[in-house]
């Protein structure tokens, strides 16, 4: 990541936090002068289209004020969607009752998320019953969508 990209990612992070969200990921594509920035924000509640639009306008304004607007030709702000990993504890609460696939320090498990709090989450698996996993032990976690 270049120095400019790091500065831009910090702006995205600051804007997300000021809006009550976290910056899950900032992806830069393209070459200098034709860069596309994809910023993914999330929070305890679902992210709305209006939340994304407000964040986009705020990031654009800060990029302009910092003289970085010319670095980005397109700015896309969205929620991460179900195909992206859950990275922050605050993302789990809204998924209680859904199935998760989780990779921890102790191995992999799949089951229904029963609870999530500041310390970790409780998952009910078919093989092991209820299992508590502290967030510090989670390597990856994804929401499983069933059709």
- Residue 132: the pLDDT is 87
- Residue 120: the pLDDT is 85
Residue 137: helix, strand or coil by DSSP?
helix
Model pLDDT for residues 11-63, shown as the tens digit of each residue: 999 999 999 999 999 999 998 778 899 999 999 888 999 999 999 999 999 99
End-to-end CA distance of the chain: 38
Domains and CATH numbers, the chain: 3-78 (3.30.70.1350), 89-144 (2.30.30.100)
- Residue 142: the pLDDT is 92
**CA 120 – CA 8 distance, rounded (Å):** 31
Q: Token digits for 68?
A: 């970085």
Residue 22: helix, strand or coil by DSSP?
strand
- Residue 147: the pLDDT is 66
Q: Dihedrals φ, ψ of 59, to 5°? A: -65, -45
**Higher model confidence: residue 64 or residue 72?**
64
Model pLDDT for residues 95-133, shown as the tens digit of each residue: 999 999 999 998 898 999 999 888 888 888 877 889 888
72 has pLDDT over 90: no
């Amino acid at each position: 990541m270049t120095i400019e990209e790091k500065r831009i990612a910090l702006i995205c992070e600051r804007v997300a936090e000021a809006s009550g969200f976290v910056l899950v990921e900032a992806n830069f594509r393209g070459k200098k002068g034709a860069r596309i920035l994809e910023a993914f924000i999330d929070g305890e509640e679902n992210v709305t289209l209006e939340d994304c639009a407000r964040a986009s306008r705020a990031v654009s304004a800060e990029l302009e004020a910092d003289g970085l607007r010319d670095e980005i030709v397109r700015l896309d702000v969205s929620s991460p969607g179900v195909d992206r990993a859950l990275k922050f504890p605050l993302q789990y609460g809204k998924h209680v009752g859904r199935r998760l696939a989780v990779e921890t320090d102790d191995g992999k498990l799949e089951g229904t998320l029963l609870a999530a709090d500041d310390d970790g989450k409780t998952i009910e698996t078919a093989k092991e019953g209820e299992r508590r996993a502290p967030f510090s032990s989670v390597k990856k976690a994804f929401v499983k969508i069933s059709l």
